[in-house]
Amino acid sequence: MTNKDHIYQIVRSIPAGKVATYGQIAKLTGINSPRVVGNILHNNPDPVGTPCYKVVNHQGRVAENFGNGKQTQIDKLKADGVTFVKPDYVDLAKHLWRPNPAQ
């Protein structure tokens, strides 16, 4: 499995109401840089099947350059039940995904 495939697999496993950070996904895949994860997700060929809107930065902030704009990401997260502590910052204390270490 390539790093790209592994990233997409992890993103598909994030449950509704939860988010992951680019850094978490980098660590789970053995990639040295969260930016690499961000670049791969920015080029996601299947946004319906691989819900990259569930990935935020380490502070919980949504992506400025998300597909159709950050408001689209915010709207999708809110539809999933995710709440915010600031207009574009997810409440990580409540919604940060804690994956199974075996993944």
Catalytic residues: 52
Distance CA 27, CA 85 (A): 25
- Of the candidates 52, 64, 66, 63, the residue with the CA atom closest to the CA atom of residue 19: 52
Instruction: Tell me which residue of 54, 80, 78 sits closest to 66, measured CA to CA.
Output: 54
